[in-house]
Structure 1
Amino acid sequence: MSGADTHPGEAMSQHIDPTRPAGGRGWTLAAVCAATFMLMLDLTVVNVALPDMRGTFDASFSQLQWVLDAYALGLAVFLLTAGSLADRLGRKKVFNAGFVIFVLASLACGTAPDALFLSVARGVQGIGGAVLFAIGPALIGHEYRGRDRGRAFGIFGGVVGLAIAFGPLIGGGLTDGIGWRWIFLVNVPVGLAALAVGTARMRESRDPRARSVDWRGLMAFSAALGLLVLGFLRGEAQGWDSVPILTMFAVSVALFVVFWRVERRLGERAMFELALFRNVTFNGISAVTLLCGAATMSAIFLQISYVQNVMGFSAWDTGVRFLPLTLCLFVAAALAGGLTTRVPQRVLVGTALTLIAAGLSLVTLVDADSAWTALLPSMFGIGLGMGLFNPPRASLSIAVVEPSKAGMASGVGETFQQVGVAVGIAAFGALFQSRVTHLFAHSAAADALGPRAEEFGRAVAAGGGAEAARSVRDPALAARLEEAARTAFTDGLTEVVLACAALAVLGAIVGFAAIRTRDLHESALDTREEEPDGANGRTPYGDSAPEGVPAAVESGP
C-alpha cells in the first residue's frame, strides 16, 4: 500500500511488546546483521570450495550446480511466505524459528555423506535463510526512524556486501586450512550466539489486524515460484525446449494466475497486497533489485571461477585477490547509509547501477595473458555500485507500505533479489557454458580432438581445461589445448559479463525513472534525528504510542 492510500494512524496500528530490555534496538540490528552475514556468505562461500567437494564426492558438474541451486531455490521460494507469516504470527517468533532451521541445516551440510544429501540440506538451509532474510529488514525498519533508519540500513547494506565479498576469502581460508565442511559448521556457533541475542533482546511485533494464514495463496505462490526457478536452473541441462522444462514453465504460469485470483478474492486477508502493483516505486525497486541480483552475482561467480580455475590460484589466494572489491563495497555502503535521507533515492539507486554497469564493462581489460590485476578496475566499479545500492534497496523495500505490513513488503523485496540471483546464475551460467564450449570446439587446437572437441569444451567451461589438457599424452598438443582452453574461457567470460553489464544499464534507467518520493509511506518520510524517548510527546513509533505501550519506551542508544 502506498503512502497515498494509508491513513495517518495506520503506521501505529501494530502490536508492540513493551518488555524488551533497554538498548534492544542495537541488539536487534546486531542479530539481523549476523543472520544476514551468514546467509549472504553462504551464497558465495561455497563457490571456492566446489573443487574440494568434487574430489570428496566424485561429483559431476550437474551435482555441484545443485549444491548452489538448492540453496538459492529454497531462499527464493519461501521469502514472501516467511514475511507474510511474520506479520501474522510475530516477527521475533518467526525470525527465531528460521534461525533454528538454518543452524540445524548447516550442521547437516557440514556432515553430509554424499552430494545428494548435501544438496537436500542446502535446500533446507535456504528455507531457514529465507525466513531470516525476509524478516530482517522489517525488524530494522520497526526499530529505527528518520536518519537513524538510514544509518541502520547503511550498516545492514555494508554487512550484505561484506558477506558477498568476503565469501571467497573466508571460504578459501576454511577450505585450505581445515576442510570445506567447516564453511557450513562455522554457522552453528555463530548462529546459536545470534539466536540467543534475538531471543533475549528483540521485541515482538505483528500486525494486529492480520487474519488467519492465507494457506491457499501461500501454497500457490510457493509452488509457482519454485517451478519457475527450477525451470531456469535445469533448463540448460535438460534442454530449454524439453517437455519437463516447458511443463514447469506452463504450470508455473497457471499457478501464478491461481495465486492472483485467490489474493483478489481474499482482499485484506490476502498474504500479498495486490494494490502494491499500482505503486510506481514498488514496481521500480522490484525490477532494479531483480536486474541487479541477476547481473552482479552471476558476474562475480564467473570472475571467481576465472581466477581460481584458469589462473590457478588456491581458494585462499582467490579470496585475497577479491579484497579490493570488499573494501570498495564497505566504504560505499557506509556512505550510502548517511545519504539515504539526504539524496533522492532514485539518484542513489540509478548511480549505483551505473557504477555496476561500468565495472562489469571493464572486464574487457582481461585477456588470455592478463595478470589477475587486470580485474581490479572491474572490481572497483562493482564494489562501489553494490555498496551504494544495498542500503537504499533494503530501505525502499519496506518504505512503500505501512509498518504493520513490513514483513510482507520485505519478503517481496528479497524475493525479487533471490529470484534474480537464481535465474541470473542459471541463465548466464548456461550462456557461459555454451559460449566457452563453442569457442573451444571451433579453435584450431581442437581440430586435433575430432569428435571429442565438444566434450573437451564442456570440461573447459566447468573450469577443468588445464586438467583435461594434461591428460593428453602429446606434450606439444597438450600445450596448444591448454592455451586454447584459456582463451576460450576468457573470451566467454568477457562476452557473458558484458551481457550482465547490459542488464545493469537497464536497471540504472529504471532506477532513475521509476523511484519517486511521493510513493513512499509517511512513516518513511521523517528525516529528523530521533529524539530521546518521550521528548516533545513523541515515542520511537510516532506521535502516539500503541495501546499498552508507555509513552517513554527505551529505544536504545
Structure 2
Amino acid sequence: MTDTTQRWDARRRITLAAVCAATAMLMLDIAVVNTALPAISLDFAADLGGLKWVIDGYTLALASTVLSAGAWADRVGRRRVFTIGAVVFTASSVWCASADGMLLLNLARVAQGLGASLLFATSLALLANAFPAGRERATALAAYGATIGAAFAVGPLLGGVLTEWLDWRAIFLINVPVGLLMLIGVRWIDESRSASPRRGDWLGQLTAIVALAALTDGFFEAAEDGWSAPRTLVVFAVAGIAFVAFLIVEASVAEPMLPLGLFATRAFAGAQCATFAISASMFAVFVYVTLYLQGVLGMSPIEAGLVYLPGTAVMLIVAGATDRLMLLVAPRTLITTSLIAVAGGLAWMTIATVDGSGWNLVPGFLLSCIGAGVFNPVLSAVVLSESGADDLGLATGVNDVFRQSGIALGVAALGAVFPAQSAFVPDAAQEFTDALVVALWISCGVAAVGALVAAATLGRAVLGVPPSEESGRLTRTGSVGALPVVGSPRG
C-alpha cells in the first residue's frame, strides 16, 4: 500500500464524508429556507418580522452556543459531541416539519440551531485530526469548501422544487435520512480531545446569549417601530450592557469561553473580521433578494431557485479547485481579492427594478459567488493554521460564531431598511425594491470594509504544507504549532 493510499484510508474517507454531509445539511437549512419563506408566510399569515426569526432563530442559537460546544467537545470528545449534534438536529428537523404555527416553528428552529452548533464546532476539528497538514488537509478542506458551495448551488432550487411540488415542510424532512446516515457512519470516525480542555463558562455563555439576542431584536424593533422608539432604545441598551458584561467576564474568569488573547494574533483576528463581513453582506442580503424575486417579480419558488443556480454552481467549481491555489498564492491575496469580488457583485445587483426579470441579477450574483468560492476553503485553512492543534475546537468555534452571528445580525440590520409588509403587498412593490437596492449597497460596503481589513491584517497568515512540497514555492519555515508554512512572509 502506498503512502498516499494509507493517508486516504477508509476511516479518513468516512470522516470526510460525515463532516461534508453535516456541513451540507446545515448550510442547506439556510439556503432552502430562503425560497420557502413566502410559502411559510402564506400558510401562517406571517409578516416580514416573523419570517426573519425563521432565519435568525437558527443562526442566533448556533452563534451564541458554538463556543461552549467547542469547549465541551475538546473536553468530552469531538466525535461524541458530533454524534449528539446529529441526533438533536435530526429530531428538531422533524419538529420544524410538524409545526402548526410561527411560534412553534421558530422554537424548533432554535433547537435546530443548538444541534447545528454541536456539529459546526466539531466538523473542522475532526477533519484536522484525520488529515495531516499539507496537501492531504488542503484537499480535504477543498472538499469541505466545495460542499458549502454545493449546498448553496442546489439549496435554492431544491427548496423551490420541494416547496412548489410538495410542501414547505419537506425542506426540513430531507434532513432526516442524511442525519440517519451520519449516525451510522460516525462509528468509524476517530475520537479526539484536547490535552488541556477548558471548563464551562456559564456566566460568559449567558451574557453572550443576551447580547446577541437583544441586538438582533433591537434591529427588528427599529424596522417596526423606528430607531427612536422607547422599546428599541431599551433593547439596544440591554444589548450594550450585556456585551460589556461579556467582555468583563471573559477578561476576568480563569477559563473563558472566548479567550480574548486569541485576538492578539493579527491574522486570526483578521480572519474573523473577514468571515463576519462576507456573512453579514452576501449571505444575509440574499434573504431579501429571494423575497424580491418571489414577492415583487412574482417568480415561482422553482424560478427563483433557477436564478441562483448559475452562480452557486460556479461557487462549487471554484471552491473545489482551490486546493492547489492555496499552496501557490498568499492567503491575504486570495481572501482580499475574494471579498472585492463579493463587493463588486453586490454592487452590480443594485440594478434591480420593480419591473425587472430577475435574470438581470445573475451576472452580479455570479461574480459574488466566484469570490465566495475562493473565500470559504482559504479562510478555513487560515483558521486551522493560525490555531494550535490543542485549540482546534475552540478556534473553529470562534470562526463559526463570526460566521453565524454575521448572518443573524446582517439579516436583522438589513431588515431595518425594509417596511414589515412591503414584500407581500402589491402596492408596496416599489418601496420594497428601493429598500433592496439600499440593502445591496450597504452589503457592498460591508464586504469592501472586510477586504480592507483582510489586506491590513492577513500579511502574516500562513498555510501548512509538508516539507517535500516546499520546493519551487515562496516558503518560509516558521512556527504554526510545529508546521512548516507557506504564504506571504511574516514581517
Name the CA shift for 1:233/1:140 in 2 (closer, same or farther; >3 Å).
farther
Aligned counterpart, 1:525: 464
How far is the alpha carbon of 1:326 from its aligned partner?
A: 1.4
Aligned counterpart, 1:151: 139
How far is the alpha carbon of 1:68 from its aligned partner?
A: 2.0
Aligned residue among 270, 275, 280 for 1:289: 275
Aligned counterpart, 1:507: 450
Separation in 1 of the partners of 2:457 and 2:367?
A: 23
Residue deviations 1:113-159 (CA, integer Å, cap 9, x gap): 21111111011111111111122112212222212212211111121
The answer on whether the counterparts of 2:296 and 2:354 sit within 8 Å (CA) in structure 1 is no
The answer on whether the counterparts of 1:349 and 1:511 sit within 8 Å (CA) in structure 2 is yes
The answer on whether the counterparts of 2:297 and 2:355 sit within 8 Å (CA) in structure 1 is no
Name the CA shift for 1:214/1:303 in 2 (closer, same or farther; >3 Å).
closer
Instruction: Map 1:48-447; keep pairs closer than 5 Å.
Output: 48-144=35-131, 145-198=133-186, 200-267=187-254, 269-431=255-417, 433-434=418-419
Separation in 2 of the partners of 1:44 and 1:189?
A: 18
Aligned residue among 440, 459, 475 for 1:497: 440
Name the CA shift for 1:368/1:515 in 2 (closer, same or farther; >3 Å).
same
Separation in 1 of the partners of 2:468 and 2:66?
A: 31
- Larger mean CA deviation between 367-376 and 41-50 belongs to 367-376
1:371 partner SS: coil
Over the aligned positions, Cα root-mean-square deviation in angstroms equals 2.5
Residue deviations 1:421-474 (CA, integer Å, cap 9, x gap): 11111111221x15xxxxxxxxxxxxxxxxxxxxxxx54x22331xxx5xxxxx
Aligned counterpart, 1:549: none
**Aligned amino acid, residue 237 of structure 2:** A
The answer on whether the counterparts of 1:224 and 1:255 sit within 8 Å (CA) in structure 2 is yes
**Aligned amino acid, residue 331 of structure 1:** I
The answer on whether the counterparts of 1:285 and 1:393 sit within 8 Å (CA) in structure 2 is yes
Name the CA shift for 1:371/1:249 in 2 (closer, same or farther; >3 Å).
closer
How far is the alpha carbon of 1:370 from its aligned partner?
A: 3.0
**Aligned amino acid, residue 447 of structure 2:** A
Aligned counterpart, 1:516: 459
Separation in 2 of the partners of 1:417 and 1:424?
A: 10
Name the CA shift for 1:242/1:491 in 2 (closer, same or farther; >3 Å).
closer
Q: Percent identity?
A: 37
Separation in 2 of the partners of 1:128 and 1:226?
A: 18
The answer on whether the counterparts of 2:292 and 2:423 sit within 8 Å (CA) in structure 1 is no
Higher relative contact order (CA 8 A, sep 6+): 1
1:207 partner SS: coil
Aligned counterpart, 1:463: 424
Which stretches in structure 2 are left out of the alignment for 5+ residues?
1-7, 470-480, 484-491
Separation in 1 of the partners of 2:430 and 2:352?
A: 11
Name the CA shift for 1:86/1:231 in 2 (closer, same or farther; >3 Å).
farther
Which stretches in structure 1 are left out of the alignment for 5+ residues?
1-20, 435-457, 470-484, 531-541, 545-557
The answer on whether the counterparts of 2:24 and 2:147 sit within 8 Å (CA) in structure 1 is yes
Name the CA shift for 1:220/1:315 in 2 (closer, same or farther; >3 Å).
same
Aligned residue among 22, 25, 32 for 1:35: 22
2:321 partner SS: helix
- Answer with 1 or 2: which has the greater Rg: 1
How far is the alpha carbon of 1:250 from its aligned partner?
A: 3.0
Q: Give TM-score, length-normalised by structure 1.
A: 0.78
The answer on whether the counterparts of 1:84 and 1:272 sit within 8 Å (CA) in structure 2 is no
Aligned pair count? 466
Name the CA shift for 1:406/1:238 in 2 (closer, same or farther; >3 Å).
farther
Name the CA shift for 1:246/1:490 in 2 (closer, same or farther; >3 Å).
closer
Aligned residue among 14, 18, 34 for 1:47: 34
- Larger mean CA deviation between 224-233 and 508-517 belongs to 224-233
The answer on whether the counterparts of 2:68 and 2:201 sit within 8 Å (CA) in structure 1 is no
Separation in 2 of the partners of 1:430 and 1:529?
A: 53
1:206 partner SS: coil
Name the CA shift for 1:205/1:490 in 2 (closer, same or farther; >3 Å).
same
The answer on whether the counterparts of 1:227 and 1:252 sit within 8 Å (CA) in structure 2 is yes
The answer on whether the counterparts of 2:71 and 2:199 sit within 8 Å (CA) in structure 1 is no
Name the CA shift for 1:115/1:421 in 2 (closer, same or farther; >3 Å).
same
Separation in 1 of the partners of 2:372 and 2:177?
A: 29
How far is the alpha carbon of 1:168 from its aligned partner?
A: 1.4
The answer on whether the counterparts of 1:81 and 1:222 sit within 8 Å (CA) in structure 2 is no
How far is the alpha carbon of 1:75 from its aligned partner?
A: 1.6
Residue deviations 1:145-181 (CA, integer Å, cap 9, x gap): 2122122111111211222332211111111111111
How far is the alpha carbon of 1:543 from its aligned partner?
A: 8.6
Q: Give TM-score, length-normalised by structure 2.
A: 0.88
**Aligned amino acid, residue 380 of structure 1:** L
Name the CA shift for 1:175/1:263 in 2 (closer, same or farther; >3 Å).
same
Residue deviations 1:348-377 (CA, integer Å, cap 9, x gap): 100100111111111144434433321121
Separation in 2 of the partners of 1:261 and 1:487?
A: 46
